[in-house]
Amino acid sequence: MTENDLPQVLDLQRELAFQDWNEKQFLSEIKASYAYCVVCEIDGKIQGYAIFHLLGPDSELLSIATRETEQRKGIGSQLLHAGLDQLTNEDQCFLEVRDGNAKARAFYEKHGFKLYNVRKKYYADGEDAALYVKKL
Ligand SMILES: CC(C)(COP(=O)(O)OP(=O)(O)OC[C@H]1O[C@@H](n2cnc3c(N)ncnc32)[C@H](O)[C@@H]1OP(=O)(O)O)[C@@H](O)C(=O)NCCC(=O)NCCS
């Protein structure tokens, strides 16, 4: 992911309405030495992105998204593996997801993430967060 990708990344995020980061937040991720930010671009159009933090021995998947029309075609899996491949100094990868986000939870579970805790009323609207970890 580069600065030039941000208009399309913001557009994708708006389309999915699953998080609300502004351009400045994405920019600081791109610039952070501990962050790995990746996009999936097909014929010049960004169809997905993912952001990881590498903080050896731990890492975190902060965000992953595929454009609605392109979901369930393997793009999310490719983005996830692109990030996991970077985790050479890390022992585990954490993430948190809304309790009701069944699609994402199925996706993470398919890729070997295990539920280890639930944080009650974690989100501003009162929804719980499901916390997952994948041992590397
Ligand atoms: C989670 C997400 C990134 C997966 O991306 P994707 O490109 O569809 O992923 P893939 O095609 O590589 O993987 C598909 C797997 O995800 C799960 N999945 C995806 N869509 C699903 C759905 N509608 N119902 C159930 N499981 C689903 C399944 O495990 C599926 O595997 P299967 O097809 O063998 O059953 C995508 O659904 C998304 O962008 N969701 C909105 C944003 C979001 O919630 N991000 C996560 C929170 S940060």
Q: What tens digit of pLDDT does each residue of 12-56 get?
A: 999 998 889 999 999 999 999 999 999 999 999 999 999 999 999
* pTM reported for the whole predicted model: 0.97
Percent of the chain with pLDDT over 70: 100
| Ligand 1 environment, Cβ below 6 A | 16, 18, 63-66, 71-77, 97, 101, 103-104, 106-107, 110
Percent of the chain with pLDDT over 90: 98
The C-alpha atoms of residue 131 and residue 103 are separated, in whole angstroms, by 15
Q: Which DSSP string do the residues of 42-104 spell out, in sequence order?
A: ETTEEEEEEEEEEETTEEEEEEEEE-GGGTTSSHHHHHHHHHHTT-SS-SEEEEEEETT-HHH
pLDDT value of residue 134:
98
Domains of the chain: 3-135 (3.40.630.30)
* For range 103-127, the mean pLDDT: 97
How far apart, in Å, are the Cα atoms of 88 and each of 58, 83, 109, 121? Answer: 11, 10, 21, 34
Ligand 1 center to residue 18 CA distance, Å? Answer: 13
pLDDT value of residue 18:
86
* For range 91-115, the mean pLDDT: 98
Best residue for ligand 1 mutational test, from 29, 42, 72, 94 (most atoms within 8 Å of Cβ): 72
pLDDT value of residue 90:
96
The mean of the pLDDT values for the chain is 97
